[in-house]
Amino acid sequence: MKYYRSHVLVGINETSIAAGVEPFLKALRAEISKAGLADEINVLETGPLGFFGKGICLTVYPENLNYEEVKLEDIPELVNEHFLKGRPVSRLLLDTTGTFSPKFNYENRIVLRNSGIIDPESIDDYIGAGGYEAWEKALLEMQPMEIVEEVKASGLRGRGGAGFPAGVKWSFTAPIEAPQKYVVVNADEGEPGTFKDRLIMEGDPHQLLEGVMICSRAVGATKAYIYIRGEYKLCIMRLQKAIDDAKNYGILGTNIFDSGFDLDIEIKIGAGAYVCGEETALIESLEGNRGHPRWKPPFPGVKGLWEAPTVVNNVETLANVPFIIAKGADEYKKYGTPECTGTKVYTILGDVAHPGLCEVDMGTTLRTIINEYGGGMKKGFKFKAALVGGAAGVILPDRLLDVKMDFASLNQYAAVLGSGAIMVMNEHQSVVDVLWSIMRFFRHESCGKCTPCKTGTQQLYRLISKIKKGEGTMDDVDTMLLVAETMQQTSFCALGQSPIMAIRSAIENFRDEFIAITQK
Amino acid sequence: MYKEICTKYAPTKDNLISILHEIQDTHPQHYISVDAVKAVSDYLKVPENHIYGVLTFYSMYSTEPRGKNIIRLCESPPCYIKGSENILRKLKTILGVNVGETTKDGKFTLELCACLGVCGNAPVMMINEDVYGDLTEEKVEDIIEKIRGRN
């Protein structure tokens, strides 16, 4: 193996590809060779780097410096100054580097531990980082029920939004005798403001596969599907490569590691429907139907895909599993709070200094996440509110910023952790306006199966449009609450049951704004 | 031609969505025609009305001919608060079309869509398979000009 003085990690993701990272890499390597540094500086292509700079981003080790928005014309300066003379080019540095938060990039990571460090397209890199050890252990040393018990003991809760304990979900399916069982990965990420699953899949696709494998073994499924939205081209490409490589290595396929266990994983592409994030709607879509949710019970764990017992889990949930199996439930429980163990991946966006993603312990306060990981408010802006959990989330004001971000604590505020999206609004933005945009979203995404949601979302949009135009009254505001409450009680699935959260939190926390606009 | 695409997949209903994707992606006008629906219906032994039901349910499919470049501008809350409405106005002006319409030269179709999952760079749009983020009115003009020139 060759030793290099320095490693330059180049993040390859949707953003950097759009910014022209391919010609950039070529030029960077050429310039490094030209400077005679080819044996000293190693350029590595990796996934998202774990911070969200603009354009093409680089991380340089051992200094651990982050550059953002590096352009072709910056290459000579970068190579000459930093790589040759050891003087970082300060004008290109992400301005958080080494200044505002020493914790930056050193979060307690489980799900993202390899992201931005290994080459996501290399199975050898993943194995080198300890990958597939948990799979080997689960397959050769553990009985299926032992795996289920370990995951149960870890306290891992579903990261898709509802927070149902994963081990409990598995324990419904595992004991059922059936000719065929399935595992389905919900990668149809569609909650506005959420892109954590995309970055998990782009950054470390093998970790997700390993989670799927362990889950399949635990519940006795020999076929797994990854249902992924059609827009996530890079994820689809990387996951497919990961599956192919795993098959070539005998990690996936028939009689894996001579254990007698067979497993096949297949990618299925969605076609653009928010409601398909609901697990039974997702199953309908997999079967080639309109994505209408099904009546529950029976739950998918008993009767799911083609009526077979099916475990549906979110990407992030499954990406936690290899760690739990490799290190044990006790080690996992060291992260987070006693009721909500582990870490959570958040996407922070809006008017913060550094929009992006972070992985922190469950129970970290909203204030810490925004200030330390999002870099605080963008210069010149004041905090007004945060929309937490996407469209199916809540709007929280300043005084609730110290709320702990975990399933149990948020419940006290009738809020949900949801998908982990945190959208920060500045003092000039109108809560009414944001609520309008959320209602427009729900109106568009209602699947039309049940009347409360179909007509309710239309009525909510009509009312908020009237209020937004300054033609509404406080009666209209109350009517919105009534409609949304009725929907919560009578809608068929979580989609129709969700608008109440944004509406109630907006009206309760920002009542003055509604009063002002209706009296205009 | 539709038959060729169909036979790449097993004739089971669960492949319907994948087959429709491929038919639409390979059609120069990015849509699924009446003939295509018939061909898929024959192949999968699934009634045409079921296929129309699926086609019209999912937002990525179109039953109308579209332009060479499909612009999908995100209108979800994170892009909305970052000014996607201004971007939309600008796009309408440059292209001279409304949402859902195709330019006379057949080069662009303007559409709105829900969250694309690139919210760190809001406002965002996709043109065919490419994502464009941190949009400003000037940037949009450049992007459209470049694509016009390329075609």
Contact B81 A350 (CB under 8 A): yes
Please, which pLDDT band fits residue A98 given cuts at 50, 70 and 90?
A: very low
Residue A206 vs residues A187, A200, A219, A251: alpha-carbon distances, Å: 14, 10, 20, 11
User: Higher-confidence residue: A45 or A157?
Assistant: A157
Express as a percent the part of chain A with pLDDT over 90: 69
Contact A272 B58 (CB under 8 A): yes
Q: Which residues neighbour B147 within 8 Å (Cβ) at sequence distance 6 or greater?
A: B69, B107, B108, B127
List pLDDT tens digits, range B93-104: 999 999 999 999
Question: What gap in Å lies between CA A416 and CA A157, rounded to an integer?
Answer: 13
Contact B76 A441 (CB under 8 A): yes
Residue A102 above 60 pLDDT?
Answer: no
Residue A391 above 70 pLDDT?
Answer: yes
Residue A106 above 70 pLDDT?
Answer: no
Contact A447 B57 (CB under 8 A): yes
List pLDDT tens digits, range A275-288: 999 999 999 999 99
Distance from CA of B95 to the nearest CA of A (A): 22
Of B21, B54, B81, the CB nearest to A425: B81
* Domain residue ranges in chain A: 6-92, 123-332, 343-426, 431-518
Average pLDDT of the segment spanning A394-405: 91
User: Domain A343-426: which CATH class?
Assistant: alpha beta
Residue A1 above 80 pLDDT?
Answer: no
Contact B77 A437 (CB under 8 A): yes
Question: What gap in Å lies between CA A412 and CA B6, rounded to an integer?
Answer: 52
* Structure confidence at residue A426 (pLDDT): 94
Q: What is the DSSP letter of A294?
A: P
Please, which pLDDT band fits residue A105 given cuts at 50, 70 and 90?
A: very low
Residue A267 above 90 pLDDT?
Answer: yes
Report the 10 Å Cβ neighbour count for B8: 10
Please, which pLDDT band fits residue A39 given cuts at 50, 70 and 90?
A: confident
Contact A287 B14 (CB under 8 A): yes
Residue A103 above 60 pLDDT?
Answer: no
Q: B121: which chain A residues are within 8 Å (Cβ-Cβ)?
A: 15, 54, 355
HEC string for A310-354: EEEEEHHHHHHHHHHHHHCHHHHCCCECCCCECEEEEEEEECECC
Contact B120 A433 (CB under 8 A): no
Burial A88-107 (b: 16+ CB within 10 A, else e): bbeebbbebbeeebeebbeb
Residue A333 above 90 pLDDT?
Answer: yes
Of A15, A233, A271, the CB nearest to B61: A271
Locate the chain B residue with the closest alpha carbon to A194.
Answer: B117
Contact A192 B61 (CB under 8 A): no
Residue A222 above 90 pLDDT?
Answer: yes
Q: Do A431-518 and A123-332 have the same topology in CATH?
A: no
CATH number for A431-518 (one of 3.40.640.10, 1.20.1440.230, 1.10.1060.10, 1.20.1600.10): it is 1.20.1440.230
Residue A427 above 70 pLDDT?
Answer: yes
pTM: 0.89
The ipTM, to two decimals, is 0.95
Helix axis angle, A205-219 to A315-327, nearest 10°: 80
Please, which pLDDT band fits residue A101 given cuts at 50, 70 and 90?
A: very low
Distance from CA of B21 to the nearest CA of A (A): 8
Q: Give the mean pLDDT of chain A.
A: 91
User: Domain A123-332: which CATH class?
Assistant: alpha beta
Average pLDDT of the segment spanning A171-184: 97
Q: A441: which chain B residues are within 8 Å (Cβ-Cβ)?
A: 75-77, 114
Distance from CA of A308 to the nearest CA of B (A): 15
* Structure confidence at residue A51 (pLDDT): 62
List pLDDT tens digits, range A452-499: 999 999 999 999 999 999 999 999 999 999 999 999 999 999 999 999
* Structure confidence at residue A245 (pLDDT): 97
* Structure confidence at residue B150 (pLDDT): 79
* Structure confidence at residue A167 (pLDDT): 97
Average pLDDT of the segment spanning A360-377: 89
Residue A52 above 70 pLDDT?
Answer: no
Strands B130-132 and B125-127: antiparallel
Q: Which two tokens stand for residue A87?
A: 């003087």
Superfamily of domain A6-92 in the CATH hierarchy: Glutaredoxin (3.40.30.10)
The low-confidence residues of chain B, meaning pLDDT below 50, are none
